Structure 1
Amino acid sequence: MLILQGEHFSMRKFGFVILCLVFCFNSSNFSKNTEQSLSFHPDSTYKELALSIDSVLSNKNLGSTQLSIAIYSLNEHKFIYEKNPDLPLKPASLTKLLTSFATYSLVSDTFNLRTQIYTDDNNIDDGIVNGNLYILGGGDCLMKLADLDELVQQIENLGIKKITGDIIADGRLYNGDNNRFAYSGDNDEVEPVAPISALTLEQNRFRIFVNSRVTSQSPKIQIIPNAGNVQVVSNVKIYAPAPAKKKSSKKKTKKSSSNFKIYEQNYGDRIPLDVALLSTYRNRISAHSKLKDDGTQIIYLSGTMPKNKNLGIQEFILSPNMSFASVFRNRLISNGINVSGKFDKVSKSTVIDYPNMKKIAEFARPLNELIKQMNKNSDNYLAENLFKFNGAIACKDTATVVSAKRLYDSIYSSIVKPEQLPILNDGSGLSRRNRASAYLLVNMLAKASQSKIFSSYVASLSIAGVDGTLAKRLRGTTAENNLMGKTGTHRDVSGLAGYIHNLDGEIYLFAYIFNGPNVGLYKNLENELSLILSNHTKYKLNEKPSN
């Protein structure tokens, strides 16, 4: 087995704030007729730690469970506990640790994702663009309407009042299929993910608002963002609600009349940010789409809703480039800029000489912002965008997905042996065919701790009892505000990996992966194992009778 031979451990490399490495005891917990002293027992306490872990695991019903566990002392530069460390298992969202580390290895933590606006008119001093505007996508999958408005403001600040040509979107940074299920090669989808694209707006989701406060039998429909390549066909029927029951004398909490159906992410532990919008009527309206060859998306709505209600539903943006160009054109016009041309997307074979064109606007988003949101909240959509981004920037193959896989092999072959390399078919861990071991993850975490990107990397992880997918776990324990890690969940997978320090300030790198039928049990096990680490100390209390 490989053992990491990293550079000398330095506490400055860590986001952990350790004010003191001296272990203090409260003398009031012991009898007054004894004297206490501390002795240092590193080897024996490691053995006791291992025995404690084995005891916890043996007391659980794990007969049908496959597991891989590895724990490494960063101070001592050695593994202190291993159980099937090389066993490749389904890692679920622990995959995101590998995806984000690959991204940082590729472009560093100071990189910005840029969305740029170019024109083929090099003379705009007259306030007129006599030509086209080109939107060049750089992989910013967090773009919102407000960000588009910032781009529009930059164009306005140049004094531009008119654009005679078209608004054209260029999202060719990523090639191949934009559907995660398709490019993963999986047999079961597990969970749908919005199309992955280098030009993304509102995470490639339309919000469709349906209002039955109308005099007709058809509801009023509003779609955000408002894209010209989208048509909505509604078969939603309005019905009169049943007569109100006699009011009770008991005071009731007023319910909101505005409800919204969302695509919930069930796998990957993501925190449902829109939970307040969930509706009791959520199953009464449904949507499905068809995409025409010309980029027009037709959204069909069906179902029923009561009179005088506001409901909503989300639908994926199936033609991201066309929709982005259309929405941007609309924002330009709404801000007083005359646009004579139409909206369109660049064809695959079109050659555009951007270096010799004039850049008139740019929106730059720090990569750290994306990775932090992805790891803390375990966001599958962001992870898949990074997967494609890694492949596109690495240029290890003409196909983006193949390039990403080759990048991962090249990065992780410097950390583990060839037979220990991960098998990754996507960036989020939704693929049930992904494989990784606890040993690989711990070695990767150790490699990260030796690199310049470590402060950014560790800052992207959830903090136990504080935020992200660990916000409600390990509260009121020594692991709270201590353990920094990444969770992983499928219906038959649970995992946890990250960094934690013990009572002496010693840093442990750990990874637990469980594959089996009892995810709830595995989560509890992860907590118990983490508490063994956070409560560990190499010091023992010696008691001597007083004279």
Structure 2
Amino acid sequence: MNYRMARRTLSWFLMMLLLLQMAAVPAFAEGGNSAANSLAASVEKYLKDLQQNPESIGLYTGIAIYDLTDQTYLYTHNEKRNYIPASNMKLFTTISALDRLGPDYQWKTEVYIDGKVNPGGVLQGNLLLKGYGDPSLAAEDLEKLAAVVKEKGIKQVNGDLLLDESYFDEERLGTGWMWDDEPYGYSAQISALAVHKNFATATVAPGQKAGDPAKLSIEPANAYLTLINQVKTVEGNKSAISVERPRGKNEIILTGTIGVTSPAYTEDVTMEDPALFVGDVWKQKLSAAGIKLKPKTELKKTTVKTGVPFAAHLSMPLRELIVELNKESDNFYAEMLLKTLGATQKGNGSFQAGTQVVADVIKRAGIESGYTQVDGSGLSRFDLITAEQMVKLLVFLEDQDYREALEASLPIAGVDGTLKNRLKGTVAENKVFAKTGSMGGVNSLSGFVTAKNGHKLAFSIIVNGIYKSKYGRELQDFVAIQMATYPEVPYPGDYTPEETKNYDLSEWLDPILDKPEAAGLTAGVIIKTLEGEVLYERDADSLLTPASNLKLLTTAAALNQLGPDYTFKTELYGDAPLSPDGNQKGNLYLKGYGDPTLHTEDELKVQDGVSIEGIASWMKGQGLTRVNGNLILDESYFDKQRLGLGWAWDDESYYYNPTLGALALNRGTVMVEYEPGKEAGSPVTWNLLPQTSYAKVINEAKTVEAGEENTFAIQRDRGTNTIRLTGNLPADDSGDYERVPVEEPALYVGTVLREALTKEGISFGPKSSITIGQVPSSAVKWNEFKSLPLSDIVTYLNKHSDNFYAEMLLKALGAAKSGEGSASAGAEAVQEELTTLGGSSNFDMIDGSGLTRYNLISARHIASMLEGMTKSDAFEAYDLSLPVAGVDGTLKNRLKDTPAQGKLHGKTGSMTGVNSLSGYITTKNGETLILSIILNGYAISSDVMTDIQDQIATILADME
């Protein structure tokens, strides 16, 4: 099918073709028979074969191989694109630490006394322990410090044990770390005073016989963590144990089973506020050393400003510490190292200051920009680097006097560390020394290879979009073997370079995607007709993070499987029929079925449907005057997973990160309205909606003079319903509001319902409580309240890109399809729907909204759903739900006064390093096309990504 462009658009793009010139390093060296070309051909063939396998087709990779001996690149592949590096980020951190601190740097931990020691060895005062970020401090080191304190004459402490962690800031977790990683040792909280890497090792051993509780122990022994043992001993030799630590708490809940002949199960578990954990261990070591403490000795935090240390401990040198860091890929060591860099070099022990120091170092390696680093370990998916940048850093390392220290810390293929079990029995064994990196969808390997000709090669292989993890590792191993074989790599006889496919739209779209400011991006793009003809595609099978474009799949499956007229119900029950005298002696039950629109009649209302006030009014209308039993909330239609897997801990105070449950209110949030006080110095004025006792607001915010800096912030204490207003709000600020999520959504519903009933004059018995439970089979249904039809709900969802609505729909799909109201069951239903519509299910869907970065999907998958929906009876409702360019929803302010205004019906998606746009667009000649554009990676501004999408949409709309 041939298309021509309107004259003005074609002229504009001819100009763009002249302006946009790309300089790219070719994958193949000059000379068709060179050793470098054989190396390149072998890798290119391998990559080509991966794209033929449904389980590996989605991966995409950046590769750079540099010959340090000949000082030339042997091979590159998408080396300028940015990728999530996982633990390869540790190389940036450790090289910078060696550069700025030196290989012999040691950390100190100090003991101070606050008071006087009398001749009898009694300290009339406090004992202080101050940390400087030693990541290797162990319980045994505290034991030795306690022995020194005893040797110096202190036999008794009549004060408290004070703890100083002020060398670092109070940010415990890295940007974008996932809440569901938090219970585990690899995601331990960071503090300047730390012991045992801020985790404890819990051991679960079987009981004596099947049916007995399992036996638990913890090391180091402490009273700071509470272990809740729900593990049972069963027959056999296998274990199935789960570990949970509720957010914001120091409770470790172990559930599952362990076989009576099973070996012990161990897990490294973390805690909140780890400096107090150090204090607890320190307290035990002091007591074990024979130093008496008063019965009610308290652990308190403080800051030591002056004084001479009474005792001190020095860590091992940095050169030794980084061996464990890199060989075992220790996240905690890396993060402590990063904050130490900030503290020593910038006077600020923060993640941000540490990454500034790293930036200063790698700038000398020629890397001034074009990457993102937010932590030291690579645990965050906000980190983005290129393979070329990594190799540049390794080339820089070659000329530094600490090179040997860094290289000695790297795992060796087939020998030790994280490479111990890889490449054994191959030519690469003992020839590759490199840093690994691995997490869901990501696998990386960067370091050095000794080639067969004795040359030293620096390389980086960063793979993203991995559907099955083995393919990422196997790719790296294959490349490693080719490098170790170099220059005797045979040219693959059956390989022919793949020619770039040209489409009718290539001459217009390629310059947009190839402009220099987009060099760091991977662009998954596909444009096709409703009949399925592909008009253009680029990396359309790459598995990318889609952000809110994932909602297109959730809403399509919901409309098809539940139907546009589907309504959610909320049921009201009593232990008995409504009493004629209005005095209900039994319990009142409210059961939810996932209605996302349940609301209060105030500014939180966004759609009609069921309101709490409406439920209370109905009960009053039935003559109810008193409930003597309990108000019981039944949320059993869904599971109890409150947050999506992979949602970031630092988003928990924001409306787009709501808590979930089958019975939830106001999209899982309350609203805090605020404005300046009457005059500077007065508290900020605030109002809570709904006006409920369920959430507590602590106002520490002050009004300041007009024009002063606005530092006002609203944060919720983790795992609680306490909301804090902090900072300064200028007197000339117009005020605003924030929606803040609350914990345990069903209890929120129950509290607000009871308050509404009280306003209606309906009282409760003195011993009545609000609890979670299930409606008994003997209960009598009083009424059923129904939501708006699904078509209306989906319209609000897509127009406003509402995460809460999407997650509730996903769990409702799971409940309806398989009887399991979970995100995983819902995702399975969505994938089945896509295959029914002609697409494939070889992608990872973890939530319904796209908020998690665990999601991996291609532009082709999304286009398949869009194409399939055009043949569905629910298509009209689906199409009407999408934002319209320049008209409404999240596209209201985009593409105004362009040919695409009113012609593009699409879903946007945006988060840091991700931007997507997919939907339907009508051309000038009236033909409807399907487009999906997913952009992942680094750009100087998010405007670069939206500009790419808008330029493509404008061209498509202007075609005739």
TM-score, length basis structure 2:
0.42
- Answer whether contact 2:653 2:740 (CA < 8 A) is retained: no
For 1:82-481, list aligned pairs within 5 A: 82-146=537-601, 147-180=611-644, 183-184=645-646, 192=654, 193-208=657-672, 223-232=688-697, 234=698, 236=700, 283-284=711-712, 286-289=714-717, 297-299=721-723, 314-340=739-765, 342-347=768-773, 350=774, 352-353=776-777, 357-360=780-783, 362-395=785-818, 398=820, 400-415=822-837, 421-481=842-902
Deviations 1:513-534 (A, max 9, x none): 1222223222112122112221
Residue 136 of structure 1 and its aligned partner are, at CA, apart by 1.1
Q: Quick one: structure 1 residues 532 and 286, their matched pair in 2 at CA, closer, same or farther if it must change by over 3 Å?
A: closer
- Per-residue CA deviation, residues 386-415 of structure 1 (Å, 9 max, x unaligned), is 23332233226x571321232233222334
By how many angstroms is 1:375 displaced? 1.1
Give the partner amino acid of 2:959.
Answer: H
Distance 1:505 1:313 in 2: 43
Q: Give the 3 Å change call, closer, same or farther, for CA 117–303 of structure 1 in structure 2.
A: same
The answer to whether the 8 A contact 1:238-1:307 is kept is: no
> Rg larger in 1 or in 2?
2
TM-fit CA distance, 1:334: 0.6
Question: Offset of 1:307 from its aligned partner?
Answer: 9.7
Percent identity over the alignment? Answer: 25
Retained in 2: the 8 A contact 1:213–1:308?
Answer: no
Distance 2:671 2:736 in 1: 11
| Distance in 2 between residues matched to 1:522 and 1:387, nearest whole Å | 28
CA distance in 2, matches of 1:426, 1:118: 32
Q: Per the alignment, in what secondary structure is the counterpart of residue 462 of structure 1?
A: coil
CA distance in 1, matches of 2:761, 2:539: 65
Deviations 1:261-293 (A, max 9, x none): xxxxxxxxxxxxxxxxxxx8863454433657x
CA distance in 1, matches of 2:953, 2:736: 43
Whole-angstrom CA distance in 2 between matches of 1:106 and 1:481? 29
Distance between the aligned counterparts of 1:188 and 1:467, measured in 2? 30
Aligned-pair CA distance for 1:437: 1.2
Q: Is 1:517 equivalent to 2:938 in the alignment?
A: yes
> Structure 2: how far apart are the matches of 1:47 and 1:210?
54
Structure 2 contact 714–726 (Cα < 8 Å) conserved: yes
Partner deviation per Cα, 1:323-375 (whole Å, 9 max, x = no partner): 2111111111111223336341323xx46227x51223524232223321221
In 2, the alpha carbon distance for the partners of 1:188 and 1:162 equals 43
The AA in structure 2 aligned to 1:163 is V
- Once the two structures are TM-superposed, the CA of residue 490 in structure 1 deviates from its matched residue by 2.2
In 2 relative to 1, CA 60–305 (structure 1 residues): closer, same or farther, beyond 3 Å? closer
Change in CA separation of 1:488 and 1:238 when aligned onto 2, cut-off 3 Å: closer
The Cα of 1:477 is off from its aligned counterpart by 2.3
| 1:154–1:361 Cα contact (<8 Å) kept | no
How many angstroms apart in 2 are the aligned matches of 1:185 and 1:208? 23
User: Contact conserved, 1:375 with 1:460, CA < 8 A, in 2?
Assistant: yes
Per-residue deviation at 1:186?
A: 6.8
Q: Deviations over 1:415-439 (max 9, x none)?
A: 4565x53211222212222111111
Matched residues in 1 for 2:593 and 2:546: separation? 29
Rounded Cα–Cα distance in structure 1 between residues aligned with 2:557 and 2:911: 23
The 3-state SS of whatever aligns with 1:112 is: coil
Q: Does 1:71 align with 2:495?
A: no
Q: Could you tell me how far apart the structure 2 residues matched to 1:328 and 1:499 are?
A: 43
Shift of 1:65: 2.2
The 2-side partners of 1:282 and 1:140 are apart by 38
Aligned mates of 2:934, 2:634 — CA distance in 1: 41
Q: CA deviation at 1:176?
A: 3.2
1:187 is displaced (CA, Å) by 8.9
Measured at CA, do residues 57 and 322 of structure 1 come closer, stay the same or move farther in structure 2, by a change above 3 Å?
closer
C-alpha distance in structure 2 between counterparts of 1:308 and 1:89, whole Å: 44
Instruction: Decide whether the 8 Å contact of 1:119 with 1:360 is kept in 2.
Output: no
**Residue 85 of structure 1 contacts residue 437 of structure 1 at CA under 8 Å; is this kept in 2?**
yes
**Alpha-carbon separation, structure 2, partners of 1:453 and 1:113:** 18
| Partner SS for 1:450 | coil
CA displacement, residues 67-86 of structure 1 (integer Å, 9 cap, x when unaligned)? 12111211x44222222222
5+ unaligned residues in a row in structure 1: which ranges?
A: 1-22, 26-45, 246-279, 538-547
Matching of residue 493 in structure 1 with residue 914 in structure 2:
yes
Cα distance in 2 for partners of 1:91, 1:85 equals: 13
8 Å Cα contact 1:73-1:79 kept in structure 2: yes
Q: CA 1:488/1:131 → structure 2, altered by over 3 Å: closer, same or farther?
A: same
Instruction: Give 1:456 deviation, angstroms.
Output: 0.9
Map of 1:23-42 to 2, 5 A cutoff? none
TM-score (norm 1): 0.72
Measure, in 1, the Cα distance between the counterparts of 2:839 and 2:666: 41
> Cα 1:219–1:512, aligned 2, differ >3 Å: closer, same or farther?
closer
SS at match of 1:443: helix
Structure 1 pair 170/228, CA: closer, same or farther in 2 (3 Å)?
Answer: farther
Structure 1 residue 462 displacement after superposition: 0.4
Distance (Å, rounded) in 2 between the aligned partners of 1:478 and 1:311: 35
**1:7-57, Cα deviation, whole Å (9 max, x unpaired):** xxxxxxxxxxxxxxxx9x9xxxxxxxxxxxxxxxxxxxx964443333443
Cross-structure match for 1:51: 507
Equivalent residue letter for 1:223: L
For the aligned residues, what is the CA RMSD?
3.5
* Distance (whole Å) between structure 1 residues aligned to residue 649 and residue 712 of structure 2: 30
Secondary structure class of the residue paired with 2:568: strand
Q: Pick closer, same or farther for the CA change 1:399–1:157 going to 2, 3 Å.
A: closer
- Sort the Cα spacing of 1:423 and 1:313 in 2 relative to 1 into closer, same or farther, 3 A: closer
**Are the counterparts in 1 of residues 560 and 872 from structure 2 also a CA contact under 8 Å?**
no
CA distance in 1 between partners of 2:695 and 2:652 (Å): 28
| AA aligned opposite 1:462 | P
In the alignment, the residues of structure 2 paired with residue 283 and residue 313 of structure 1 have an alpha-carbon distance, to the nearest angstrom, of: 15
Task: Between the two structures, name the one with larger relative contact order (CA 8 Å, sep ≥ 6).
Answer: 1
Asked whether the 8 Å contact 1:383–1:427 carries over to 2, the reply is yes
